[in-house]
Structure 1
Amino acid sequence: MSPTDALLSVLDLSPIPAGVDAGQALRNSVELAVAAEDLGYHRYWLAEHHLNPGVAGSAPHVLSALVAAATRTIRVGTAATILGNYRPLQVAENVGTLAAVFPDRIDLGFGRSGQPASPPASTGGEDLRTAGEPAPEDAGRVVAGLVVPAKRQPFSSVLPRKFRLQAELLGREPGDADNFESDVQDVIGFFDGGYRTRHGEGITVTPALGHAPQFWLHGSTAGPSARLAGKLGLRFGANYHVSPATVLESVAEYRAHFRPSAAVPEPYVTVSADVLVAEREQDARRLGAGFAAWVHSIRSGQGAIAYPAPADGGRLDAAVGSPELVRDRVETRFVGAPGTVTANLRALQRATGAQELLITTIAHGQAEQVASYGLLADAWARG
């Protein structure tokens, strides 16, 4: 597959720019989806994040409905629905409602929470003296032109209070991530009629039954999600933008465990990337200021801050403490003129063999985000 054969899709976190409220951020997402459809992007996916002051994307099923209603042909879905935050029946009914109203356009991406449901009671705040430090034996590397940084621990052994509070408010229970495989199979069973109760009874889940979305699993490591996606013959989303150090091994693990299914006869991969494009390199760098501070707010456990305006972004980036905590994300964000960014994306596609690339663009201004997606789509189509 040549790089330009790879489809381009969008992952939207619904970031809240500084000086803007959550309502406007969500309206921006709907507006951006309409623009992405007009630009020829294949999918528009919504993320799920909770208790983040600077991210409005916490209810992806609701937002998916708004986006699907505002668009005509682009596929719409979740990347990802974190199963531990819901009961499988709720997921099937919510997404089944969308798939019944918008047939052949809805995607359901399953995600497994990487955080324990109930960290030890003694946890307080994160110890940033150790978080983010690379393993001594891992210096990072370049593969087929792609930067694969050293593996780093995003959080220390002491998890931030936010995660404990989030688990409590969402009703998480210790060990519930261990139910991930059975939860995925239950949801799929509700759609295809294969679900059976413990007494062997079949049930009808309306409106899910007969209105199956396209199923995906998303993962950041060569762990349970990659293996399960392969085992079940599902499509797999690999997170270069979240965990660039482990993207190659996660894709390899998926392919090693892949078993063909009726819906997916061969391995199918999309890989995410942080991207920001402007006409000139220096303009892209200016618009990209604030990214390090924004990522640091997430990885330090406080929750995403409102995305800084360019005038403030450089100052905030320079003031970031514990730069090792964000170095991998900053070094693997593709920022620049169209030619520079497309070259980086081609390297990502070559190294991973992805059939799709999932682009997430965060800038303070809505016009700059839309322009970035437009410049990228045009450059990618021209090869």
Structure 2
Amino acid sequence: MVSTGKTFQQARLSVLDLAPINQGSSAAESFKNSVELAQAAEKHGFHRYWFAEHHNMPGIASSATAVIIGHVANATTAIRVGSGGIMLPNHAPLVIAEQFGTLASLFPNRIDLGLGRAPGSDRRTAYALRRTLHSSPEQFPQQLEELQAYFSEEGHLGVTATPGAGLMVPIWLLGSSDFSARLAAEKGLPFAFASHFSPDYTIPALTIYRNNFKPSAILSEPYAMVGVNVIAADTQERAEWLATSQQQQFLNITKGNPTKLQPPIDDVEAVWSERERASAKKILQSDATIAGDPITVKEKLGNFLSKTGANEAIVSSQIYHQQDRIRSYEILGSLMEEE
């Protein structure tokens, strides 16, 4: 049985900010919005605030992930800030150790380092980042060991990360399949599963992680986080209207034409074919994608947390209007406060 008895009342809630660049706006405006949303999330009791590394995506501004983490950490006081995640194959482990060692030195006990093994980009962009395509996701376990060594006092092969050595920045493994679930279990690390875009494999991955977990100096028992798309509004009708921005974004990505985040539209059925709608249905109508009024969101998110037994849910809300985005998290925060 997968569930460990976690419910909406017991699980933590956190924020995954994809730093959306809206149609007609800019990255500069996106960063201002992220600061405002992070401050609201901190006020309403969210546990952490993460950014994801993406490249060559016109609608996502968080490519220099460590930089925006520092910017938001400086504008908040208590909420944990981190990466969900850094795509480790894109970088030398020493560089990541130094970047997050710097962040952890500036903001003690507030920085998380979530790691993924996908490139987060296409082949041309991956080459532009790495200057080689010889780096492979299969090398991820070795890259992880090297990174962990840099956070130890001993360093790696005579090389010390300064800052970084001895700081033991919390490392998470992120995944959308069983690879990182198995590795997180083997290493005794916390695990975050991308249910918000890979919903079908959520339960199998969490089962693998829990069944194979080996206690470590970091964790004595498994700690699992799940990604959830949530768009909450004061009425069901408005929530479903706001959700059309996310639906358009998903459609454009699947068509290989990512764009800036589009404003909501009245008739989303007019912009996609029946075949495209059927393809999107697997994600957009899964348990991990929720749009609704407060009662609907509380019920559906509570059911998903109970079903997965997750210790924590990290919420992504691709909402075009900033005040609606803040309101969505305010509603979630108020639901936490009710318990």
Same fold (TM over 0.5): yes
Distance 2:60 2:119 in 1: 19
SS at the partner of 1:16? coil
Superposed displacement of residue 335, structure 1: 0.3
Opposite residue 257 of structure 1, the aligned amino acid is N
What residue is the counterpart of 1:268 in the other structure? Answer: 223
SS at the partner of 1:346? helix
Superposed displacement of residue 314, structure 1: 3.7
Distance 1:105 1:196 in 2: 25
Distance 1:377 1:218 in 2: 25
Distance 1:308 1:36 in 2: 24
Superposed displacement of residue 291, structure 1: 2.1
Check the 8 A contact 1:218/1:238 in 2, yes or no: yes
Superposed displacement of residue 250, structure 1: 1.1
Normalised by the length of structure 2, the TM-score is: 0.93
What residue is the counterpart of 1:230 in the other structure? Answer: 185
Superposed displacement of residue 290, structure 1: 2.6
Distance 1:54 1:320 in 2: 20
Deviates more, 1:368-377 or 1:49-58: 49-58
What residue is the counterpart of 1:193 in the other structure? Answer: 153
Check the 8 A contact 2:89/2:119 in 1, yes or no: no
Check the 8 A contact 2:155/2:161 in 1, yes or no: no
User: Which structure 1 segments of 5+ residues have no match?
Assistant: 116-161
What residue is the counterpart of 2:11 in the other structure? Answer: 6
Check the 8 A contact 2:87/2:119 in 1, yes or no: no
Distance 1:82 1:280 in 2: 37
1:256 aligns with 2:211: yes
Distance 1:272 1:362 in 2: 13
Opposite residue 237 of structure 2, the aligned amino acid is Q
Q: Cα deviation per residue 1:11-70 (whole Å; 9 max; x = unaligned)?
A: 000011122111101211111111111111000000111111111121111100001100
What residue is the counterpart of 1:129 in the other structure? Answer: none
Count of paired positions = 329
What residue is the counterpart of 2:43 in the other structure? Answer: 38
1:213 aligns with 2:173: no
Percent of pairs with identical residues: 36
Distance 1:16 1:86 in 2: 25
Distance 1:212 1:306 in 2: 37
Q: Cα deviation per residue 1:267-296 (whole Å; 9 max; x = unaligned)?
A: 001101000011111111122223222112
What residue is the counterpart of 2:3 in the other structure? Answer: none
Superposed displacement of residue 299, structure 1: 2.4
Check the 8 A contact 1:338/1:375 in 2, yes or no: yes
Instruction: Give 1:169's match in structure 2, choosing from 128, 141, 149.
Output: 128
What residue is the counterpart of 2:255 in the other structure? Answer: 300
Deviates more, 1:358-367 or 1:185-194: 185-194
Distance 2:186 2:89 in 1: 20
Distance 2:295 2:76 in 1: 29
Instruction: Give 1:91's match in structure 2, choosing from 85, 96, 105.
Output: 96
SS at the partner of 1:308? coil
Distance 1:196 1:320 in 2: 52
Superposed displacement of residue 316, structure 1: 5.2
User: Which structure 2 segments of 5+ residues have no match?
Assistant: 1-5
SS at the partner of 1:76? strand
Opposite residue 323 of structure 1, the aligned amino acid is R
Superposed displacement of residue 194, structure 1: 4.5
Normalised by the length of structure 1, the TM-score is: 0.82
Superposed displacement of residue 175, structure 1: 5.1
Q: Cα deviation per residue 1:323-354 (whole Å; 9 max; x = unaligned)?
A: 23322221132000011011111111111111
1:365 aligns with 2:317: no
Q: Cα deviation per residue 1:177-219 (whole Å; 9 max; x = unaligned)?
A: 121001111111101134432xxxx432110012222110000
Deviates more, 1:43-52 or 1:254-263: 254-263
Deviates more, 1:270-279 or 1:247-256: 247-256
1:324 aligns with 2:283: no
SS at the partner of 1:276? strand
Instruction: Give 1:353's match in structure 2, choosing from 309, 318, 325.
Output: 309
SS at the partner of 1:326? helix
* Structure with the higher helix share, 1 or 2: 2
SS at the partner of 1:185? helix
Q: Cα deviation per residue 1:130-173 (whole Å; 9 max; x = unaligned)?
A: xxxxxxxxxxxxxxxxxxxxxxxxxxxxxxxx712212211242
SS at the partner of 2:226? strand
Distance 2:270 2:106 in 1: 48
SS at the partner of 2:244? coil
What residue is the counterpart of 1:118 in the other structure? Answer: none
Residues 1:100 and 1:175: Cα distance change in structure 2 (over 3 Å):
closer
Opposite residue 361 of structure 1, the aligned amino acid is S
Check the 8 A contact 1:296/1:325 in 2, yes or no: no
Distance 1:185 1:259 in 2: 16
Check the 8 A contact 1:77/1:107 in 2, yes or no: yes
1:182 aligns with 2:155: no
Residues 1:43 and 1:32: Cα distance change in structure 2 (over 3 Å):
same
Distance 1:286 1:215 in 2: 37
Check the 8 A contact 1:292/1:317 in 2, yes or no: no
Matching of residues 76-87 of structure 1 within 5 Å = 76-87=81-92
Distance 1:183 1:335 in 2: 38
Q: Cα deviation per residue 1:298-332 (whole Å; 9 max; x = unaligned)?
A: 222222x222212xx34455312422332222113
SS at the partner of 1:187? helix
